[in-house]
Chains A and B, each alone.
Chain A
């Protein structure tokens, strides 16, 4: 029996309150899930202080009422089983939360992977002198939702005199790209043009760089091309304008090919040229002798399938935007820095290679009926399919889903990886709950008018 002062902890009124509160909080969570998405609902509601508090209160109430009914009689059996079962489920959930692993592994076809991406985020900075060997300069777990960078200063030390400062964080953001002028003389040129005729009009940006030295945009039968250097002496084309950098900052050189022949010259920003292709005229809207495509992020109020998290950072006097799992490379004269805001990667302890991936479709349709991955795990090959997971190192690998291109050909297999140390505690708890519920039907109600007979 409980001491008088603690009696209320065992009261049914408290139980009713706890049950209703759990219901209300969960319901709020589902509305958040519908308005936003599942992970946001988890952050804000299901893992919030209130939810945890009410679950603690539930456990206390259950334990108190069991203590209060001491000494126990046989008729208490269903009640004890059900309540101990619930407490076990709660305990199991605690184990899962603190010691469990829940993440995904993405495999391109034929690709290798040994890391699970989990929900926890981290911020890392690496550097390399040769582009092959990277050293980790900084790697920390972060939670910008809890620790708002606008409310507190967040720094990562990169070296004795350099650091990365986090300026802002958007939980829902949409990436936008823009073309910016670069101080790096090795960056290629960029030109923005507007081409108009009686039949059509179009605007475009062309940005060339070390990897894509020549870029072009085609409109019907005509082509606009941009290159890092001038065309070869014997270069010939039809219905094309070939842009290349001028000697100065103001003008861009061009070579124009049309049915009349070819013409050379240079254009300043704002100038128009008659292309000679029907009645199309081309105007140079912008020209940057050295440019790069930069990404920035727009803040969203609500997420959608293509939105992501984004952080704004300051590094070496420049501001950059990083999208989740989208590393940024900062090139210097002698080295390159890689900055990443991404999901934490946990090493599973062995390499996995996707040898093959098959999708079974419902006959004559594109709807997936079943899918499976053939994976090389070092010493053997295993087939992982829906409802047939693979277990190793205490981890279980499930065939979760896959990505496909526009033609419907699978490009990536996605495995969900899971370690749940609380699993058997939860299962035992569930079993006890079910037993308790079942026994309820075999016992006569105290003072009741009806009786269950086997």
Chain B
């Protein structure tokens, strides 16, 4: 094994781009409470350790197997991401570098006592600030590397008897079982050396299949049951449908921008085409993700960041058609680009991996109805928010844009109505679900309380409009300001309240960036407000 490893590692580092065969990527592994393809486990592990999935263009499945084959080489490679300044200081590491080697970190004398302190805090369930979160991540990174080097994470053999559901890792293998697995490693080495020739790729596929036939023989598990799902997941990992969606949505925005500049009808058509295409890609991504995970795509923060803009595009379409206005479509497109880029570029904060659901969330029906309703109300409010931004801009020249302001105010009002009905119904459904599951209709839990607060805010806005307390400026300003309540309910409760109010510093989930986003909008509203006040005085 050692010889192969060294040889392999030398080859691996000398060839820039390497690809494994599809069979290896689709090798089923039991991890995180489900069966996933090796490609997913590898990508998630590399993302955990290195910060992103792409390490020098190398194929993830191959990469993680070299962790197993050539542990000593990897132990000295500086690829473990560590960014938190305080943690670097506590470990006596230089501030300039962001990547360290496993050896430097694991043998660090300060690390053990830091981890002991962390454990005490975790036992007491004290909320972890940025430093502790970074420390916790470091612990996870080192454990993950160890798990690959020892092979314990490679649970690739289903159990022989039906009772225990735990798959065996390569450590538990019998001698001939190990031989079959070693065959995969051998052919992989040849494949790499041959710089991915078709012949070695085929040999690798065959070795993987031979292994799978051996491992699955005589068990109650049939690999055919998993094959399609595994293939779909590997495809999903490389296809990045949501990434292409925001690229196409951006093209739509460019088209409408050119239309605004030059007025050529072709650009308007282009906008419509790209918007629709982007929507299809968006939808396609959802369909695959639902198929792979077997549940509605709203079970964690990452998934909601994909779903909300989807709803906004839909509402933008409905309201744009009703009001015969372009702005709802454009606004929705901006929201979609913004959210999808966020989901793509913040993998450490927004975890895209498919995780098992907490037991209490496993009742599919209620999860579907309640969470979908609430998050789609956020979509409507997001639309009102961006339309409010547009309206505020128009207010800077009230007289010229009288007609536009009137149309957009109607669109805002529509969006708010839709949002309020959905939020009220969704919040009530949440109470019904909680009552059904554990007998408590309302427990003042922060997530539900903030949904309630957002509802109060928007209701106040609508009631104020009823008697003319606020007019077009008030609607615009209100829909922008009230969206902060939605941000709090959607994001703030988890990443700010849930992380402990005293958590700040980079890496604590982006609270600073979100705060800046909210602050800027408050200033924008105040600016336009004062501008109008001064203008109306003269």
Interface residues of A (CB under 8 A from B): 12-13, 15-16, 19-20, 22-23, 26-27, 29-31, 33-35, 38, 41-42, 46, 93, 102, 304-307, 361-365, 367-371, 386-387, 389, 396, 398, 400, 416-418, 420, 423, 426-427, 430, 433-434, 437-438, 440-441, 449-450
A102 touching B124, Cβ below 8 Å:
no
Chain B residues near A46 (CB, 8 Å)? Answer: 444
User: What 9 A-B pairs are tightest by C-beta distance, nearest first?
Assistant: A362-B33, A418-B439, A305-B125, A304-B124, A23-B456, A34-B497, A19-B460, A363-B165, A30-B446
A386 near B359: Cβ-Cβ < 8 Å: yes
Judge whether A367 and B33 touch: CB under 8 Å: yes
B497 contacts A306, CB within 8 Å? no
Tell me if B457 and A12 are in contact (CB < 8 A): no
Q: Does B436 contact A (CB under 8 A)?
A: yes
In the complex, are the beta carbons of B497 and A30 less than 8 A apart? yes
Residues of A within 8 A of B441 (CB): 420, 423, 426
Q: How far does the alpha carbon of A29 sit from the alpha carbon of B450 in the complex, in Å?
A: 10
Q: Are B34 and A437 in contact, CB atoms less than 8 angstroms apart?
A: no
Q: Is the CB of A433 within 8 A of B428?
A: yes
Of A34, A306, A433, which contacts B498 at CB under 8 A?
A34
In the complex, what residues of B have CB within 8 A of residue A31's CB? Answer: 497, 501
Chain A CB within 8 A of B35 CB: yes
Kindly list 19 other residue pairs between chains A and B, CB separation below 8 angstroms, not including A34-B497, A433-B424.
A12-B463, A15-B460, A16-B460, A20-B457, A23-B457, A23-B485, A30-B446, A30-B450, A33-B446, A304-B124, A305-B125, A306-B123, A387-B363, A387-B436, A398-B437, A420-B439, A420-B441, A433-B428, A450-B410
Instruction: Tell whether, in the assembled complex, residue A102 and residue B453 are in contact, meaning their CB atoms are under 8 Å apart.
Output: no
Smallest CB separation, A27 vs chain B (Å): 6
Task: Give B417-476 interface residues, CB cut-off 8 Å to A.
Answer: 417, 420-421, 424-425, 428, 431-432, 435-446, 449-450, 452-453, 456-457, 459-460, 463-464, 466-467, 469
Beyond A16-B460, A16-B463, A398-B437, is A364–B31 a contact (Cβ under 8 Å)? yes
State A332–B250 Cα separation when bound (angstroms).
82
Given A30-B450, A38-B443, verify A19-B456 contact (CB < 8 Å).
Answer: yes
Q: What would 18 A/B residue contacts be, using CB atoms closer than 8 Å?
A: A13-B469, A15-B463, A16-B460, A16-B463, A29-B444, A34-B501, A38-B445, A42-B444, A362-B34, A362-B356, A363-B165, A364-B167, A365-B33, A369-B356, A398-B439, A416-B439, A420-B435, A437-B425
How near does chain B come to A289, taking the closest CB pair, in angstroms?
36
**CB-defined contacts of B362 to chain A, threshold 8 Å:** 369-370, 386
B30 at the interface (CB under 8 A from A): yes
Is the Cβ of A434 less than 8 Å from the Cβ of B424?
yes
Check if B32 is an interface residue, CB within 8 A of chain A: yes
Interface centre among A30, A31, A396 (most CB of B within 10 A): A30
Check A430/B428 contact, CB under 8 A, given A369-B33, A386-B360. yes
> How long is the Cα–Cα vector from A426 to B434 in the complex, in angstroms?
14
Give the A-B pair count, Cβ closer than 8 A: 157
Interface pair A365/B32, CB less than 8 Å apart:
yes
| B449 touching A22, Cβ below 8 Å | no
Shortest CB distance A136–B (Å): 30
Which residues on A sit within 8 Å (CB–CB) of B493? Answer: 30
CA distance A433 to B441 in the complex (A): 16
The CA of A91 and the CA of B432, in the complex, are separated in Å by 17
A27 to B446, CA, bound (A): 8
Nearest CB in chain A: distance from B350 CB, A: 21
Q: Which residues of B contact A307 (CB under 8 A)?
A: 124
CA distance A370 to B442 in the complex (A): 23
Which residues does chain A contribute within 8 Å of B498, judged by CB atoms? 34
B470's nearest neighbour on chain A, judged by CB, is A16
Cβ–Cβ < 8 Å partners of A306 in chain B: 123-124
Verify if B500 is at the interface (C-beta below 8 Å from A): yes
Chain B residues 34-61 with CB under 8 Å of chain A are: 34-35
- Minimum Cβ distance to chain A for residue B81 (Å): 25
Q: What residues on A are CB-neighbors of B34 within 8 Å?
A: 362-363
Task: Give chain B's interface residue range (CB within 8 Å of chain A).
Answer: 35 or more
Chain B residues contacting A418 (CB-CB under 8 Å) are 438-440
Chain A's closest residue to B436 (CB) is A387
> Would you call B522 an interface residue if the criterion is a C-beta within 8 Å of the partner chain's C-beta atoms?
no
B520 at the interface (CB under 8 A from A): no
In the complex, which residues of chain B have a beta carbon less than 8 angstroms from the beta carbon of A400? 438
Interface pair A449/B410, CB less than 8 Å apart: yes
The answer to whether B421 and A440 have CB atoms under 8 Å apart is yes
Give the residues in chain B near A387, CB-CB below 8 Å: 363, 436-437
Known: A30-B449, A437-B424. A363 touches B35 (CB 8 A): yes
Check A437 against B30 for contact (C-beta < 8 Å): no
Q: A304 is contacted by which of B32, B126, B417, B431 (Cβ under 8 Å)?
A: B126
Do A29 and B431 form a contact, CB below 8 Å, given A42-B444, A420-B439?
no
A307 to B124, alpha carbons, bound, how many Å? 8
Q: Which residues of B contact A396 (CB under 8 A)?
A: 439
Q: Which listed residue (A16, A368, A417, A427) contacts B359, Cβ 8 A? A: A368
Judging by beta carbons under 8 Å apart, are A369 and B359 in contact?
yes
Residues of A within 8 A of B166 (CB): 363-364
Q: Which residues of B contact A361 (CB under 8 A)?
A: 33, 165
Expressed in whole angstroms, the Cα–Cα distance for A400 and B440 within the complex equals 11
B155 located at the interface, meaning its Cβ lies under 8 Å from any Cβ of chain A in the complex = yes
Given contacts A365-B356, A434-B424, contact A423 B167 (CB under 8 A): no
Chain B residues, Cβ within 8 Å of A27: 449-450, 453, 488
**Residues from chain B with Cβ under 8 Å of A305 in the complex:** 123-126
- Of the candidates A33, A364, A416, the one having the most CB atoms from chain B within 10 angstroms of its own CB is A364
Q: Which residues of B contact A38 (CB under 8 A)?
A: 443-445
Please name all residues of chain A whose beta carbon is closer than 8 Å to the beta carbon of B442 when the two chains form the complex.
93
Q: What's the least CB distance linking B38 to chain A, in Å? A: 15
CA distance A433 to B417 in the complex (A): 14
**In whole angstroms, what is the CA distance A102 to B439 when docked?**
8
Least CB distance from A52 to B in Å reads 14
A426 to B124, CA, bound (A): 37
Q: Which residues of B contact A417 (CB under 8 A)?
A: 439
Kindly state the separation between the CA atoms of A109 and B420 in the bound complex, as whole angstroms: 47
Q: Which residues of A contact B443 (CB under 8 A)?
A: 38
**Nearest opposing residue in chain A for B126, CB measure:** A304
Which residues of chain B have C-beta atoms less than 8 A from A427's C-beta? 432
Residues of A within 8 A of B469 (CB): 12-13, 16
A26-B488 Cα distance, complex, nearest whole Å: 13
Are B446 and A364 in contact, CB atoms less than 8 angstroms apart?
Answer: no
* Cα(A13)–Cα(B468), bound, Å: 11
Q: Shortest distance in angstroms between B228's beta carbon and chain A's nearest beta carbon? A: 19
Closest CB in chain B relative to A297 CB, distance in Å: 16
Of the residues A13, A398, A440, contact of B438 by C-beta under 8 Å: A398
In the docked arrangement, what's the CA distance between A450 and B325, Å?
A: 14
CA distance A228 to B421 in the complex (A): 74
- Cβ contacts under 8 Å, A440 to chain B: 417, 421
For B459, the closest partner residue in chain A by CB is A19
Nearest CB in chain B to that of A418: its residue? B439
- Taking CB atoms, residues of chain B closer than 8 Å to A450 are 410, 414
Measured between beta carbons, the chain B residues less than 8 angstroms from A398 are 437-439
| A82 to B, closest residue via Cβ | B424
Q: Which residue of B lies closest to A397 (CB)?
A: B439
Taking a contact as CB atoms under 8 Å apart, the answer to whether B456 and A34 are in contact is no
Within B284-337, the residues touching A (CB, 8 Å) are none
CA distance A417 to B439 in the complex (A): 8
Set A16, A29, A362, A370: member contacting B464, Cβ < 8 A: A16
A363 to B29, CA, bound (A): 11
Cβ distance B322 to chain A, nearest Cβ, rounded Å: 8
How many whole Å from A401's CB to the nearest CB in chain B? 9
Q: Nearest B residue to A450 by beta-carbon distance?
A: B410
- C-alpha gap A416/B438 in the complex (Å): 7
The answer to whether B449 touches A29 (Cβ under 8 A) is: yes
Residues 145-193 (chain B) with a chain A CB within 8 angstroms: 155, 165-167
> Which chain A residue has the least Cβ–Cβ distance from B361?
A386
User: Which A residues are CB-close (under 8 A) to B167?
Assistant: 363-364
Bound together, the chains give a CA A416 to CA B453 distance in angstroms of 28
B124: nearest residue on chain A (CB-CB)?
Answer: A304
Residues on A with C-beta less than 8 A from B356 are 362, 365, 367, 369
